[in-house]
Amino acid sequence: RITAPSLPSFAHHDPVDLLAIISSKVNAVIKRLQAIFDRKDQLLDIPHDHQLVLQRISDRLKWILNNITENGTSQQQNIDWFCKEFGKVKFSGLGQNFERVVKTLVELEHFGYLDWIVV
């Protein structure tokens, strides 16, 4: 039986490794989020407030990439939780499941993992 490797613990890494881990996770989320923005026709059909939530998620993730330093951030756990939860969202068949995926991401944003970022 093959299992995925355990997720790295922030407690046991030096700051440079930590920066690389967080950056990698955030970049992966941004790449998946881009798949939604690439579907412009479907994006225009969702409620405006959902569009704003998706844009807010994108802006906050970009802020993380631009502002995280080797000293890390006191919010590493929140970033990690958000990335993990985002990773659980099923993007397969995005065309047919677009509204469901967007609704799930809007609900995820309401958990407030990234609310500490003001952009």
Between CA 46 and CA 43 the distance in angstroms is 6
pLDDT tens digit string along 79-118? 999 999 999 999 999 999 999 999 999 999 999 999 988 8
For residue range 15-73, what is the model confidence (pLDDT) as tens digits?
667 788 889 999 999 999 999 999 999 999 999 999 999 999 999 999 999 888 755 56
Instruction: Tell me which residue has tokens 């613990």.
Output: 9
* pTM of the shown model: 0.81
Which helix (H) or strand (E) element contains residue 20?
helix 15-37
Tell me the domain boundaries of the chain. Answer: 14-110
